[in-house]
C-alpha cells in the first residue's frame, strides 16, 4: 500500500474568521487580507514540509491547486511540483489534480507535466479533475461544458504523449494545427493517471473504463463504498475484477502526543467552517456543472455533517446567520471524516478504515486551519514513526497492493462473471 502526505497549504494568520462565516465562503474573500511576505514564508514552509515527508518515509507527496481562495494558496501546483521534482529523490509526486476544463491550453499542460516527469526522473503521477464550480467561475469557464472539456483535454494530452507528431487535433472545444511536443515523459507510454473525486458517478465510470485508479477525497465511508461498488460494476463490464490497486482514499488525520492536544488541533482545523464553507452553493455548483445524481449525493452527505451550530457571539453577523456555522466538529468526528488522537488511539481506527474499503493508496490530509508549524511537524513525525509502520503491516495482511505494484485489469473476473465485493458494508455497521 502507498502512503501519501497531503496538505491544502492554506494562508494562515490574519484572516477574519467572522468574515468567512458571514460570507459562508472562503472563496471570494477580498485579497486585501493577503500579505505577500507572509505568504512567501508559508509557501516555503510547505515546500520544506513536503521534503521532510520524504525524509520521514512517506511514499508519495500529493499536491492540489485552487483559485481565488485562502483555503489553498497554491494556484499553480505544477510550479510546486517542479520544485519538488528537483528537491526530492524517491517519493512519487502525485497531482490531485489538474483541473482540465479550466486550464485553457491542454497542450501546454502536456508539456509542463512532461517536464516535471523528466526533472523528477519519472516520479510523476498525474491526476485529472473537473475543478470545483468556484474554479469554473474564477477562470470564466462554461460549467455546462465542464465534463466535455475534461474528456477532450484528456484525449489530446494522451495523444500528445503517445502519438508521434506533428499531427492535427480538431475537437469541439480545442483546436490545434500542429501537435508535436519536444518534451515527452520519461515514463512510457505516459505517467500513471489517477482520477480524484468526491461524489461524481461519472468520474468513477470514466476511471474504471480507462483503467485508472479512483481516489476518494475524504468522503464519508458509506458514500465511498457506493463509489467503490460502481467502479467494480463498471470494471466487470470491461472484463476485469477491481481490486485494491483501483482505489485510493484520502483521510483527514491529526496526531499529537496527548489526546487533549489532538482535540485542540482538530477544533482549529474547523476554522471558518472548513470544507463546508469552501464556497457558497451557488458558486460551488453553478447551473449545468453537476448531474442530478451528483446533487443528490452531495445533499445526502451534507445532511449528515451540517448542524445548526450557533455562531459565537463575538462574531458580528446578522441574526439570520447565527443559526449556521458550517459543519459540526462532533459530527465530523463521529463520521470519522476527521480523525484526531494519539498514535495509540488513531491506529485501530485507521485499521478499521482499511478493512472496510481496502485501499491500495491511503493519503493523510493535514493542516486546513491556523495550526502552528511545530504542531504540523509533530503530527507528521508521529504518523511516520508510529502509525505508518503498523498500517503497512495491516496492508500486507490484507494484501493491499497499490497501482504501481499491480496493474489495473490484471485480476480476472470470477467464473460467475460478477464482481466480488471490494468494500465491506458489514464492517461499516459493526
| pLDDT tens, position by position, 271-325 | 888 888 889 988 988 888 877 676 666 656 555 544 445 555 555 555 554 444 4
Q: Is the pLDDT of residue 189 over 70?
A: yes
- Give the residue-averaged pLDDT of 168-193: 97
Q: What pLDDT is stored for residue 382 in this prediction?
A: 98
Cβ atoms of 216 and 227 within 8 Å: the answer is yes
pLDDT band of 373, cuts 50, 70, 90: very high
- The answer to whether residue 5 scores a pLDDT higher than 50 is yes
* pLDDT (mean) for 198-216: 94
Strands (E), 175-327: 175-179, 193-197, 214-217, 247-255
**Res 325: pLDDT:** 47
Per-chain mean pLDDT for the chain: 90
Q: pLDDT-derived band of residue 370, with 50, 70 and 90 as boundaries?
A: confident
Q: How high is the pLDDT of residue 324?
A: 45
Give the per-residue pLDDT at 337.
83
> For the segment 69-89, what is each residue's pLDDT rounded down to a tens digit?
999 999 999 999 999 999 999
Q: How many CB atoms lie within 10 A of CB 84?
A: 23
Predicted local distance difference test score (pLDDT) of residue 429: 58
The CATH class of 2-429 is: alpha beta
Q: Give the tens place of pLDDT for each residue, 376-389.
A: 999 999 999 999 99
pLDDT tens, position by position, 149-167: 999 999 999 999 999 999 9
Of residues 331 and 395, the one with the higher pLDDT is 395
Q: Which of 186, 152, 191 is nearest to 172 (CA)?
A: 152
Please compute the mean of the pLDDT values over residues 345-355 and round it to a whole number. Answer: 96
Instruction: Give the pLDDT confidence score for residue 307 in this predicted structure.
Output: 47
- Mapped onto helix, strand or coil, the DSSP state of residue 214 is strand
Alpha-carbon distance of 109 to 5, in angstroms, equals 24
Q: What is the pLDDT of residue 314?
A: 55
CA angle 280, 281, 282 (to 5 degrees): 95
Checking if the pLDDT of 351 tops 90, the result is yes
- Which among 167, 23, 47, 37 is positioned nearest to 107, based on CA atoms? 167
For 76, the grid coordinates are 499553480
Q: Please report the pLDDT score of residue 416 as a whole number.
A: 80
Instruction: Report the C-alpha gap between 300 and 298 in whole angstroms.
Output: 5
Q: What is the pLDDT of residues 212-257, one digit of tens each?
A: 999 999 888 888 999 999 999 999 999 999 999 999 999 999 999 9
Please report, for residues 263, 299, 325, the alpha-carbon distance to residue 328 in angstroms, rounded to integers and kept in the order given. Answer: 14, 16, 8
**pLDDT: which is higher, 329 or 373:** 373
Amino acid at each position: 500500500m502507498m502512503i501519501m502526505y497531503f496538505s491544502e497549504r492554506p494562508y494562515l494568520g490574519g484572516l477574519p474568521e467572522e468574515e468567512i462565516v458571514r460570507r459562508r465562503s472562503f472563496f471570494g474573500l477580498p485579497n486585501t487580507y493577503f500579505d505577500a511576505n507572509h505568504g512567501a514564508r508559508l509557501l516555503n514552509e510547505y515546500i520544506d514540509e513536503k521534503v521532510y515527508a520524504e525524509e520521514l518515509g512517506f511514499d508519495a507527496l500529493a499536491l492540489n491547486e485552487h483559485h481565488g481562495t485562502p483555503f489553498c494558496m497554491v494556484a499553480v501546483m505544477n510550479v510546486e511540483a517542479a520544485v519538488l521534482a528537483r528537491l526530492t529523490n524517491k517519493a512519487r509526486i502525485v497531482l490531485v489534480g489538474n483541473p482540465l476544463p479550466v486550464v485553457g491550453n491542454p497542450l501546454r499542460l502536456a508539456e509542463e507535466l512532461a517536464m516535471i516527469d523528466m526533472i523528477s526522473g519519472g516520479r510523476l503521477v498525474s491526476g485529472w479533475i473537473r475543478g470545483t464550480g468556484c474554479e469554473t467561475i474564477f477562470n470564466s469557464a462554461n460549467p455546462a461544458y465542464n465534463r466535455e472539456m475534461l474528456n477532450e483535454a484528456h484525449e489530446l494530452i494522451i495523444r500528445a504523449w503517445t502519438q508521434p507528431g506533428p499531427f492535427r487535433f480538431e475537437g469541439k472545444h480545442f483546436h490545434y494545427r500542429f501537435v508535436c511536443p519536444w518534451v515527452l515523459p520519461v515514463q512510457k507510454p505516459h505517467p500513471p493517471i489517477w482520477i480524484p473525486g468526491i461524489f461524481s458517478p461519472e468520474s468513477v465510470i470514466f476511471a474504471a473504463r480507462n483503467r485508472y485508479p479512483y481516489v476518494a477525497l475524504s468522503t464519508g465511508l458509506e458514500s465511498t463504498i457506493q463509489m467503490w461498488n460502481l467502479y467494480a460494476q463498471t470494471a466487470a463490464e470491461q472484463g476485469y475484477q477491481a481490486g485494491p490497486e483501483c482505489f485510493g482514499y484520502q483521510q483527514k488525520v491529526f496526531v499529537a502526543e496527548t489526546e487533549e492536544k489532538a482535540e485542540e488541533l482538530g477544533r482549529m482545523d474547523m476554522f471558518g467552517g472548513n470544507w463546508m464553507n469552501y464556497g457558497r452553493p451557488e458558486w460551488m455548483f453553478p447551473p449545468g456543472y453537476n448531474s442530478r445524481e451528483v446533487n443528490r449525493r452531495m445533499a445526502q452527505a451534507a445532511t449528515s455533517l451540517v448542524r445548526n451550530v450557533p455562531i459565537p457571539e463575538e462574531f458580528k453577523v446578522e441574526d439570520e446567520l447565527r443559526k449556521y456555522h458550517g459543519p459540526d466538529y462532533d459530527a465530523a468526528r463521529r463520521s470519522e471524516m476527521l480523525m484526531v488522537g494519539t498514535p495509540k488511539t488513531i491506529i485501530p481506527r485507521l485499521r478499521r478504515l482499511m478493512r472496510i474499503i481496502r485501499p491500495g493508496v491511503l493519503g493523510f490530509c493535514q493542516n486546513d486551519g491556523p495550526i502552528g508549524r511545530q504542531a504540523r511537524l509533530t503530527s507528521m513525525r508521529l504518523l511516520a514513526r508510529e502509525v505508518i509502520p503498523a498500517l503497512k503491516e495491516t496492508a500486507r495482511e490484507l494484501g493491499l497492493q497499490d497501482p504501481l505494484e499491480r496493474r489495473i485489469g490484471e485480476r480476472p473476473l470470477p467464473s460467475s462473471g460478477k464482481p466480488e465485493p471490494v468494500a465491506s458494508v458489514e464492517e461499516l455497521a459493526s
